[in-house]
Structure 1
Amino acid sequence: MKFLHLGDLHLGKRVYGYSMLDDQRFALEQVVRMAIENQVDAVVLAGDIYDKTVPSGEAVSLFDWLFTQLCEQNITVLAVSGNHDSGERLDFGRTLLSQQGMHLVGTLEETVPSVTLTDKQACRVQFHLLPWLRPMEWREKWKLKESTQQCVLQEALKRAAWEQDARHVLIAHTFVTVGGVLPEQSDSEILPVGGIDAVDAALFDAYDYVALGHIHRPQRLGRDSVRYCGSLLKYSFSEARYPKSVPLVTIGQTGEAEITLLPLMPKRDLRELRGKLQDVLSDLVQQAGNPNDYLRVILTDDEELYDPQAALRAVYPNLMRLDFDNIRTQTANAEGLQREEDARQLTPVQLFEQFFLEQNGKPMTAWQKQQILRIGREMEASDEADSFDN
């Protein structure tokens, strides 16, 4: 059984005001060719199909084009919703689409739905489709003790149908750790707060392959067969040095997953250039890459520059971001760190006095200072009482 593992398409996404639809179409055309050339049985999509819960018409049309191309080749599509998707909207036409080989699960009912496929070698693989879950909602429905993602997913997987004579693949959109170790993340993701969204990879030990979405940097988690495929494109400059790929997964009768990473070539790469303006504009630097790439330029010139952005855009039309790293910015950063250190030496009341002066352009009156001191003492007394009670 062979299938491609995709996730985090974020169709319709804009990066620094630039629409990615044209670049996404270019990448998905490669995915369709990969699927045909490798004669895959299925393509799995592990959530965040769209970038917004109410996607644009162009984004919906692009997704329609993708699954139409795959279904015309008799390639099954298995997809779940992510935290950026509207599960209810994705469920539209779910029954009708499944009859055409397009299995799209936007919301969970009482059990995790599954689809079993059989290849030409009579290898049976049961795909379990687990959409994005909101812990608070499912804690109430299932009367759980905790409202953590770990607790909710553990309960959901207990409710999944399980064919004993089949191989098993889980498709899920969630934040997975390995023994408490976080995955490598990017700036383009919504990061979990307080660990409430974290799920340990050990929860998936029974599965032959776990196709994950949510983290944009491709990586394995503990074992090769528990994997984030990464986002379709680079959506932040923290990903500039990391190429994109699509895992081609082959599962045999024994259940071992063989994984081949197929490189994705962007129409316009997302890169960083660093140096003096004259050097960045030189023919040598221009010829080292595609001038039409999406760029972040970091200029190191110490002298004042006249409209460097205009000079850069004349050569690099898709300049997304311009930053400076020179004596002035380094000095400003050092002064900012010193101000932070000085602030740590002040009491809360002194900090408030400083804040009042900056906001109002005049110092506090004696009466105002007395009121702030009184409030400060009351807060300290309350904290001491709480500490004693605990």
Structure 2
Amino acid sequence: MRLLHTSDWHLGRSFHGVGMLDAQADFIDALVDTVREERVDAVLIAGDVYDRALPAVDTVRLLDSALERITGAGAVVVLSSGNHDSAARLGFGSALFERAGVHLRTRYEDIARPVILPAEGRPVAIYGIPYLEPRLAAGELGVEVPNHFSVTAAAVQRIREDILARERAGEPVASVVTAHTFASGGISSDSERDLAVGGLGAVPLDLFEEFSYTALGHLHGRQQLSPTVRYSGSPIPYSFSEARQAKGGWLLEFDGGGLASVEAVTWPARRRLAVLRGKLEDLLADPDLAEAEEAYCQVTLTDSQRPAKAMELLRTRFPDTLVLAFDPEGGARGPAQTYSQRLAKATDDLDICCGFLEHVRSRSAADEEKDLFIEILNKVREAEAAQ
């Protein structure tokens, strides 16, 4: 029995203004190939299949195609909702989809209703915990204190009771749980968004220890919290903080005794990410940066003054520079001042104009710019004198 653990597809998301739908379609191609080549029996999607509650039409079509292709390749799908998904909309038609091998877990009442996959020895029971917003889930789950720990613990308890009932009935199972949450021990990156207003609500790792495997979603870096509790991470990078991460999922193998092995599956991204730092002249000349010419780039310039037309010049070599920052080497510019502080120190009208220009673009006025200011100020004075 083979399962493929994925999460955080975020279909429909953009990357610094660049649409990602084509890159997401590439990832789905790679996933379907993996399902066929590895003879995967079930694909797990641990939340955030969409990037927003109301996805665009093209995004919905992409998911529709993905589900049809995965099931057509011989695997069932178990999809639980995340904090970016609309549980009600994603769960539409769940009873009908189940007949086609797509099992949606978006409702509290389905938490303890597993997808049973027959296997030699013990069958595999897959339980899906949808994202639990504490204020909404507490009442449904009979919890008095609405926080992430309490609602997750209540959901896990329901699953434990179902597993125990099966054991008492002489039908033991290997248990797999999907959940979209922040488990303590995970390492976050910039493109995740907080699960709780005012702070991230973490749940302790030991909540999941007794299950054969827990497939987590929410953090975008693939990581192992314990041998049986892991994040698959997002299938493609969604922030420059993920530039060095290998993207993919986890391939699980079950035998008659339970979980036998877990191995990483990596899918190459359509475009790599490059994080560059240095002086503009050096970046444009450095031969070691040739690979970055085909990458999406985040550039931090360390010139003592912000170079003129910096983005335009960078894009002559790195056409897909998406983010440009300025951090003078050694703090050459000194402490930041507000414009009011600059204005208080100005000695004349020319100083005011040049100070404003420097404030808004982090570069002193060039000689020709000063000459232009002088010409304009003289014309203003002449007009005032004429009045």
| Class of the TM-score when normalised by the shorter of the 2 chains | 0.7 to 0.9
Contact 1:110/1:159 (CA < 8 Å) preserved in 2?
A: no
Deviation string, structure 1 residues 228-275 (Cα, Å, up to 9, x no partner): 111121111111122213211112222234111112210001221122
User: Which of these residues, 158, 174, 183, is aligned with residue 167 of structure 1?
Assistant: 174
Which deviates further from its counterpart, 294-303 or 40-49?
294-303
Q: Give the whole-Å Cα distance in 2 for the aligned partners of 1:61 and 1:110.
A: 26
CA–CA distance in structure 1, aligned partners of residues 30 and 292 of structure 2: 19
CA contact (8 A) 1:274 1:299 kept: yes
Deviates most, 75-84 or 278-287:
278-287
Q: Which amino acid aligns with 1:175?
A: F
**Residues 140-151 of structure 1 correspond to what in structure 2 (within 5 A)?**
140-151=139-150
Q: Which amino acid aligns with 2:208?
A: F
Structure 1 residues 293-329: Cα deviation after superposition (integer angstroms, max 9, x where no partner): 2110112223552201012223322211011222485
Once superposed, which parts of structure 1, at least 4 consecutive aligned residues long, lie more than 4 Å away? 192-196, 327-330
Of 40-49 and 266-275, more deviation after overlay is shown by 266-275
C-alpha deviation, 1:166, in angstroms:
1.3
Q: Report matched runs for 1:260-275 at 5 Å.
A: 260-275=263-278
Instruction: Give the TM-score taking structure 1 as reference length.
Output: 0.79
In the alignment, what sits opposite 1:184?
187
Q: Which whole-Å CA distance do the structure 1 matches of 2:175 and 2:91 have between them?
A: 24
Query: Match of 1:372?
Result: none
Identical columns (%): 34
- The 1:49–1:214 alpha-carbon spacing in structure 2 relative to 1, beyond 3 Å, is same
Letter in 1 for 2:249: V
Aligned to 2:342: none
Decide whether the 8 Å contact of 1:41 with 1:75 is kept in 2.
yes
Structure 2 CA distance for aligned equivalents of residues 225 and 296 of structure 1: 35
Partner of 1:358: none
Name the residue aligned to 1:298: 300
- Matching residue of 1:202: 206
User: Deviations 1:198-239 (Å, cap 9, x if unpaired)?
Assistant: 211111122000000011111111x12100111121111111
- Aligned equivalents of 2:269, 2:190: Cα separation in 1: 19
Match among 327, 348, 356 for residue 325 of structure 1: 327
Deviates more, 1:188-197 or 1:13-22: 188-197
The change in CA–CA distance for 1:202 and 1:304 in structure 2 (over 3 A counts) is: closer
1:99-178 to 2 correspondence within 5 Å?
Answer: 99-109=99-109, 111-119=111-119, 121=120, 123-160=122-159, 161-162=162-163, 163-164=166-167, 165-177=172-184
- Structure 1: how far apart are the matches of 2:29 and 2:331? 43
RMSD across aligned positions (CA):
2.0
2:252–2:259 Cα contact (<8 Å) kept: no
Any unmatched runs of 5+ in structure 2?
A: 338-387
Task: Provide Cα deviations, 1:102-146, integer angstroms capped at 9, x if missing partner.
Answer: 111222226532100014x45510000111111122222344221
Q: What is the distance in 2 between the residues matched to 1:101 and 1:144? A: 33
Matching of residue 311 in structure 1 with residue 318 in structure 2: no
What is the distance in 1 between the residues matched to 2:207 and 2:145? 16
Does the 8 Å contact 1:113/1:130 carry over to 2?
Answer: no
Superposed counterparts of 1:339-358, under 5 Å:
none
1:234 to 232, 237, 240: 237
Q: Secondary structure at the match of 2:3?
A: strand
Shifted more, 34-43 versus 136-145: the winner is 136-145
Q: CA deviation at 1:195?
A: 6.2
Q: Deviations over 1:149-169 (max 9, x none)?
A: 211122122223223321010
Code of the aligned partner of 2:238: Y
Residue of structure 1 in register with 2:341 after alignment: none
CA distance in 2, matches of 1:110, 1:81: 12
Q: Judging changes above 3 Å, is the alpha-carbon distance between structure 1 residues 299 and 335 closer, same or farther for their aligned structure 2 residues?
A: closer
The CA distance in 1 between the partners of 2:35 and 2:295, in whole Å, is 27
Partner Cα separation in structure 1 for residue 242 and residue 76 of structure 2? 30
Distance 2:110 2:65 in 1: 31
Deviates more, 1:161-170 or 1:108-117: 108-117
Shift of 1:281: 2.2
C-alpha change, 1:117 and 1:228, in structure 2 (3 Å) is same
Instruction: Give the 3-state SS of the residue equivalent to 2:31 in structure 1.
Output: helix
Deviates more, 1:128-137 or 1:313-322: 313-322
Residues 279 and 285, structure 1, Cα contact 8 Å, conserved in 2: no
Q: How many residues align?
A: 328
CA distance in 2 between partners of 1:111 and 1:40 (Å): 23
Match of 1:249 among 249, 252, 262: 252
What is the alpha-carbon distance in structure 1 between the residues aligned to residue 96 and residue 204 of structure 2? 35
Q: Is the 8 A contact 1:12 1:20 kept in 2?
A: yes
Equivalent of 1:218, from 222, 225, 229? 222
